[in-house]
Structure 1
Amino acid sequence: MAQENVLNDPAKQLNQLHQKQTQEKLYLHTDRSSYVAGDQVWFNAYLVNATSHALIASQTIAYVELINQQKEIVLKRYVKVANGVGAGNFKIPFDQPKGEYVIRAYTRYMQNFDLEYFFTKKIKVLTIKDAQTYQAAKGLTEDTKNKKSTTVVKSPKTKFNLDMQFFPEGGQMLDNLANQVAFKAIDHTGKGVEVQGKIVDNQGKELTRFSSVKFGMGKFMFIPKPQQSYTAVITYQGKKYGFTLPEGKNIGHKMQVTSTDEYIQVMSQVSNGYSIEQSSVVAHVRGKVIGKHTYKQAAPGFVWRIPKKNLPSGIIHLTLFDANKVPQCERLVFVENPKDLQKVAITSKDTKFAHRKKAVFDLELKDAAGNPVQGQASLAIVRTDLETSQAKKMNIQNYMWLKSDLKGHIEHPEYYFNKENKNRHEVMDLLMMTQGWRRFKWNDMPQLALRPLKYEREGGFTIKGRLYKLYVEDKVISGKVQFTSQQNIQLAGEANTDKNGLFVLKDVPIEDTTNLVFTGVRLVKKKRKNKIKEKKTNIFVKLEDINVFPSAVPNNYFANASPTIINKDALLDRTHKINRINAVHGLEPEVMLLKEVKVTSSRPARILSKIHMNSTNTVDFTKLDVGIINSALSIFDVLQGRVAQLRVRGTFPYQSVSIRGGCPMLLLDDTPISNRFLSLIRVEDIAYVDVLSTSRAAIYGFRGFNGVLAVYTKDRAGIVEESNINGTVVNMFHPGYSKAREFYVPKYDVEKISKDQLDYRRILYWKPNVTLDKDGKAQVAFFTSDESANYRIEVEGMTQKGKVILGTYKFEVK
């Protein structure tokens, strides 16, 4: 009976779900929104409780992916998140085409819920070819600027369709009552378009006029009559459109909400002589109930006022239930509480700095009462002419408070928080009337509260597998599995199987890609002595695919508005300049030329030479910059873009390689191996790679028909057993946490770097994991570059208690 009462009380039911199935939110602060292929993307992850927004203290893994417009996962990273934060980076492959990409991030626990809850951010990627083309065009312009010419550009024909949706406040329209109806007009791409028109009845009589306010959204008020139909008539781009309004109901409930600076007023009504008695309104923020009002008297309606003073920032969800606890009306209202936004103060002795000079900035965070606030933040310093300002793009504030909790595409979420937009509160309320809450539905509540969760929170990597009888894969065996690491003797453990032979190793702390050795043990019970005996023969250990990533990529990932490149010409010109500087010194992008270092100790060196003197191409790993080696997850990451006709497909650790469309023979120190095994060889152990084309691989017979990829390691370090020993032992290379590179800035006070080596950076400075201490303070110091420009510091973060941190500061380098 107690359970029955809980399920019949919406507020208690919601609290039960909130306690049993707390959700998570993950946000990535990235250094920029626009990149060039080959650039590093720097990011800092923030993992919070989806309701309170407090940083989650436990350790876990954030899975970060780059997805292209073909909905293919280009690359993945495993990021360690501790105390709610984790730093990382990845390099956009050189061979990726220009266009829009999506960064997706999530935890394993978040896979229990809809993919809509995953963090996504759209970025724009240009290519080095774009920079070269721009530079050539620029030179052509200079040569022909004094010549008269006429260029005719034909605009592509665009198929245009206008669509319009109507949203009666609360969800339904009642006859003979004044109804407020919101609307949204969109084009064929889903983008809001500004419209104006009129409402007419079925005799063509005009009742009212309307016009959109922003993003195609607006509202109007009118009183529908029984047995009447209504049409919205719009003329847009010379074409007349007609859209039918929802039908009014003779009996039902109605909710009208007014939001002022001080309170939210909820007015509830019923039509046609019905009573509101025993009806109630439940209010919650992100699943936490903040109020409930039940009207116990017989009346046609009631009013409830909710003070805003102590409400948290975010979406207030109001639901009207009838006397039988059936939801009848819903309305969303947004609350913006200034107490929840912590503005970090950024100060410096200077606002102008010379080239290659040390710049020091102090950060201080206080609450409204002047008390210091602790928190975690990250900091990016960008050129003001190349990156949209913090207030005009997605940031941690508009993501946590708005985007992460609304269903569907939100056009320019930053608009609603930019104080320069005087009508932002009006437009926000229209958004609340036209968008839907996405975390749960009331009708699904009983099932949600009782369903088991498939994925647990993980403190480390999860490895699964089964034990089978050797050579009989459909015969499972009960027993246990033990594992050890060849690189780290302290990394070891064991797990028992269930009756189906399944074993699960949880929270395995793999700091770096390592070779794990798994041993299967069969437990046999002796009847006479009632003891358990371990047997390690005739057992087959089969490991499950370690790829926990969902393969599905929703179509709406690329429906959101594209990030704006505010100065594409300047970005391309700068990229071309940086590439020319690097080319002069034989450097890859993001690499600085350091002074010569003398090595005083040595060991006998192995002479590295090509085994195949007629190889088509050789990549000498010993001559590659250490930054390239450290940032690569596999050998394929290094080869991609460095060998003609060689293509890499898939993402680590499931990569494969092809030469001219065919699968080449793979050799590791002259031993044939698989794609999977080669992808897991440590990059730092590789000496060089020989690539033989089809014609030059004839010595390998049919196996070399598609060419040969021959990999040679330092001191044959790559040879590791891949097969079973009597079926009981399996070796497996398992990826560890993706190591975040440190953003390199020369220290001009200790390093003597020639002025001939120009210091131009893709981004002036990036600093993750900035800890604001118990006094709310932190300090950041770095050296400026050789580039004269105006810069902006952008700080994002979260306090321990779930308050958003934002801050900006402008300075000049000259």
Structure 2
Amino acid sequence: GMGSFVFTPEKGRTYYAEVTYRKNEKRKFRLPEPLRTGYVLHAEQLSREKVGIRVETNKPITQDPLANDIILMAQVRGKEMYSEVIDMPENRTEKILDVSAYPAGVCQITLFDGRGIPRAERLLFLRKDDWPSLVISGLNKEYDFRKKVETEISVALAGNAIAGGSYSVSVAEFSDSAQIESSVFTYMLLNSDLHGTIENPRWYFENDRQERREAIDLLMLTHGWRRFRWESILAPDFKWPFFEEEKGITITGKITRDLFAIPIRNAKVYLTILNAYNDYFETRTDQKGRFRFDNLDYPDTISVVVEARKPNGRKNLVIIVDENEFRPAETQTADARAQMVLAKGDAWKYKNVKRIDYTYNPEKQKILERSKDFKIHGEADNVIYMDDIPEGYTDMLQVLQGRVPGVLVQGNTVTIRGPGSLMLSNDPLFLIDGVPVDINAFRSLNPKDVELIEIIKGPNASIYGSRGANGVIAVYTKRGEFMKRGFLDFKMLGYATPREFYSPDYSIRSTEGINDLRTTLYWKPDIVLDSVGKSTVSFYTSDIKGTYVLKVEGITADGKPLGSFAFFSVGK
């Protein structure tokens, strides 16, 4: 239950609320300590169009004009509807707000002192008369098994039809009141603006009687102060979140030189969508070597080819396509100290660090033979076959970590046989299918695309000259062309192809002898009302006897959420 009481606290005293439960059990809750000075904010909705606000304070008047001012702000759904700086020479002020143009929903009224520090907050729920009604008509109370149900959905305001919008319909066996207690209507107008649990939010909107209005006002009081930091929001350097409007699928990336990841600006980039489309797009990189293809609209998984050329027409470059950031998989790897010991060759002292030794295997020998097309060195000092690595890795550094003696992975760096220079770089040479790349390109590889990793150390790496002085880490992909110069192909996830909800048609098909055990009779998520604001829905009942609920939810073309439901029974 909810309720309210009014009292005036005295400074220096401590107050408790004593609650008596059903079994005469009593518990005491300490109330906030009274402040010596402060503010009182009172607000109530006088009518549909007017809200009355009264502010009082016992703070002494000073020579500082800011200390005598207050700031009132009202907002609905995050949109500021009113703000004003008010002088309080008599420590009291009253204000009448015209809320006729405010949208329906939770109105948050916040009181700041003259220096912008929030001191009090009050929530009010604004009801509106100009709200459309969603009506379900033509539905009978009872239906027999496997009979056709046809009903009409309509939306209107003051007798005028409202066309368009987006609505969904579901018909399922009624099993719990939770199926009807909440909807997109109650969520957008109530739940989304309040913290905590709201029991049966639909109850507050069943009618507009005085008891419901008083109850929803108590709900605003008990779910009021949300304790977010206004100071950071009002700061001049506050960075408001920016979400770019999505009009389609976007492919972004960058073009760099073979070595040192130097961006190439003004490079031509070509995108080809294969499969049955063969669509072709062209763009150029910006000053930072980045490219972008926007508003792509393709279903399912499609094959994509990205090609690039330098301004002079050459293809000796690297194409890197941006991918979604995934949380690294949690894997069991050696800790930092064990890795330091491993780099010194004492791995046998630590049980959680395993050295990988390989015996002859015909399949692995074939993998080595395929890699010869991309390398100039001979036999590698260490070889990691990705078939031996457990699934779940999302970063190539995780694959290396703790698996090869003498290779140390610390954060985003890799060293072979420990640090070798205090002044120069200690990074090894990274090769992907024979193409030199930097560590960023190495990390951008998907471990699932890699077939083999070779580690070349000491004299064996001398064939690569000074670049191999710190060792070589050579990666070979399964396709053998992952780093083909000026060319990159991959699979891209397009939009999911919607599946049609199965609903039998017993008027044209006989299914005698087959039990129809459906408890969800119908579902359609994309209903659009016609020009007169109506849509017809039809489906067949099943062989399951019981009570069913037809639930309609949606949003009008101008953004007003609606919801309605109706019951019927199956089987006499």
Is TM-score (shorter-chain normalized) higher than 0.5? yes
Once the two structures are TM-superposed, the CA of residue 549 in structure 1 deviates from its matched residue by 7.3
> Contact conserved, 2:268 with 2:285, CA < 8 A, in 1?
yes
1:741 is aligned, of 492, 496, 499, to 499
Look up the SS of the partner of 2:156 in the other structure.
Answer: coil
> Equivalents in 2 of 1:308, 1:767: separation in Å?
37
Q: 1:417 aligns with which of 182, 187, 204?
A: 204
Deviations 1:250-307 (A, max 9, x none): 3332212234555432111011554997544332212333345665573231222335
Q: Does 1:334 pair with 2:121?
A: no
Q: Which residue of 225, 228, 249 corresponds with 2:13?
A: 228
Mapping for residues 38-437 of structure 1, pairs under 5 Å: 213-214=1-2, 218-233=3-18, 242-260=28-46, 262=48, 263-274=50-61, 279-292=70-83, 295=86, 298-306=89-97, 311-323=102-114, 326-340=117-131, 342-348=132-138, 350-367=140-157, 369-374=158-163, 375-384=165-174, 386-388=175-177, 391-392=180-181, 394-406=182-194, 408-412=195-199, 414=201, 417=204, 419=206, 424-435=212-223
CA contact (8 A) 1:282 1:318 kept: yes
1:633-652 to structure 2, matched below 5 A, reads none
The DSSP-based 3-state class of the residue aligned with 1:302 is: strand
Which letter maps to 1:371?
N
Do the aligned residues in 2 keep the contact of 1:391 with 1:417 (CA within 8 Å)? no
Distance 2:504 2:227 in 1: 47
Which amino acid is the alignment partner of residue 536 of structure 2?
Answer: Q
- Residues 620-699 of structure 1 correspond to what in structure 2 (within 5 A)? 676=448
Specify every segment of 5 or more residues in structure 1 that has no aligned partner in the other structure, as ranges.
Answer: 1-212, 524-532, 553-646, 652-673, 679-719
Q: 3-state DSSP class of the match of 1:519?
A: strand
The alignment partner of 1:738 has SS state of coil
3-state SS in 2 of match to 1:360: strand
After superposition, give the CA deviation of every residue in 1:480-528 in whole Å (9 maximum; x if it has no partner): 42210221445332333344433333332232210101112222xxxxx
Shifted more, 512-521 versus 753-762: the winner is: 753-762
Q: Could you tell me whether the CA contact under 8 Å between 1:797 and 1:804 is conserved in 2?
A: yes
Write the letter of the residue equivalent to 1:316.
C
Question: 525, 539, 544: which one pairs with 2:322?
Answer: 544
- Bigger Cα Rg: 2
* Alignment partner, residue 813 of structure 1: 570
Instruction: Give the 3 Å change call, closer, same or farther, for CA 308–468 of structure 1 in structure 2.
Output: closer
Match of 2:313 among 516, 531, 534: 534
1:450-465 → structure 2 map (5 Å cutoff): 451=239, 455-465=243-253
* Change in 2 beyond 3 A, CA 1:771/1:253: same
1:502 to 286, 290, 295: 290
1:108 is aligned to none
Q: What is the TM-score when the length of structure 1 is the normalising length?
A: 0.47
Q: 2:488 aligns with which of 719, 730, 741?
A: 730
Shift in CA distance, 272/786, structure 1 to aligned 2, threshold 3 Å: closer
Query: Structure 2 counterpart of 1:253, which letter?
Result: Y
Contact 1:382/1:765 (8 A) holds in 2:
yes
> 1:446-502 CA distances to partner (integer Å, 9 max, x unpaired)?
5578637554222112223222333x3644433242210221445332333344433
CA distance in 2, matches of 1:459, 1:729: 27
Report if the CA contact (8 A) 1:743-1:766 is conserved: yes
Distance verdict in 2 for CA 1:793–1:722, change over 3 Å? farther
The answer to whether the 8 Å contact 1:491/1:509 transfers is: no
Per the alignment, in what secondary structure is the counterpart of residue 271 of structure 2?
strand
1:764 and 2:550 correspond: no
Q: CA deviation at 1:437?
A: 7.0
What is the CA–CA distance in structure 2 between the aligned matches of 1:548 and 1:725, rounded to whole Å? 21
Displacement after TM superposition at 1:444 (Å) = 3.2
Are the structure 2 counterparts of residues 231 and 786 from structure 1 closer, same or farther at C-alpha, using a change threshold of 3 Å? closer
Q: Per-residue displacement from partner, 1:9-32 (whole Å, max 9, x unpaired)?
A: xxxxxxxxxxxxxxxxxxxxxxxx
Name 1:467's counterpart in structure 2: 255
Unaligned runs of 5+ in 2: 330-389, 395-445, 451-477
**Whole-Å Cα distance in 2 between the matches of residues 435 and 790 of structure 1?**
35
| Mapped partners of 1:238, 1:355: distance in 2 | 51
Q: Report the Cα distance in structure 2 between the residues aligned to 1:223 and 1:438, rounded to whole angstroms.
A: 23
The answer to whether the 8 Å contact 1:461/1:508 transfers is yes
Secondary structure of the residue that 2:313 maps to in structure 1? strand
The residue type paired with residue 743 of structure 1 is F
Structure 1 residues 452 and 286, CA, compared in 2 at 3 Å: closer, same or farther?
closer
How many angstroms apart in 2 are the aligned matches of 1:476 and 1:807?
56
* SS of equivalent residue, structure 1 residue 344: strand
Structure-2 residue corresponding to 1:787: 544
Query: Offset at 1:762?
Result: 3.9
Which whole-Å deviations, capped at 9, do the CAs of 1:357-385 have from their partners, x for residues lacking one? 32211122111x2111122211011112x
For residues 283 and 772 of structure 1, the distance between their equivalents in structure 2, rounded to whole angstroms, comes to: 35
The structure-2 alpha-carbon separation of the partners of 1:503 and 1:219, relative to structure 1 and needing over 3 Å to count, comes to same
What is the 5 A alignment of 1:541-580?
Answer: 541-545=319-323, 547=324
Name the CA distance, whole Å, in 1 between partners of 2:138 and 2:327.
46
The verdict on how the C-alpha distance between 1:775 and 1:226 changes in structure 2, with shifts beyond 3 A counting, is same
* Structure-2 change in CA distance of 1:789 and 1:244 (3 Å): closer
Structure 1 residues 428 and 301 mapped into 2: Cα distance closer, same or farther (>3 Å)? Answer: same
The aligned amino acid for 1:254 is V
Q: Is the 8 A contact 1:320 1:330 kept in 2?
A: yes
Amino acid corresponding to residue 42 of structure 2 in structure 1: Q
State the superposition RMSD in angstroms: 3.7
In 1: Cα distance, 2:487 partner to 2:11 partner = 77
1:804 maps to a residue whose letter is P
Distance 2:59 2:289 in 1: 65
Distance in 1 between the 2:550 and 2:391 partners? 37
Q: What is the rounded CA distance, in whole Å, between the counterparts of 1:388 and 1:247 in structure 2?
A: 41
Task: Deviation per CA, 1:99-144: give whole Å up to 9, x if none.
Answer: xxxxxxxxxxxxxxxxxxxxxxxxxxxxxxxxxxxxxxxxxxxxxx
Q: How many residues align?
A: 424
3-state SS, counterpart of residue 443 of structure 1: helix
Where 2:505 maps in the other structure, the secondary structure is: coil
Residues 311 and 337 of structure 1 are in contact (CA less than 8 Å); yes or no, is this contact kept in structure 2?
A: no
Larger mean CA deviation between 372-381 and 725-734 belongs to 725-734
How far does residue 768 in structure 1 lie from its aligned partner after superposition?
Answer: 1.7
For 1:660, the equivalent position in structure 2 comes to none
Percent of aligned pairs with the same amino acid: 27
- Separation (CA, whole Å) in 2 of partners of 1:458 and 1:448: 28
The letter for the 1-side match of 2:31 is L
CA spacing shift, 1:484–1:447, aligned 2, 3 Å? farther
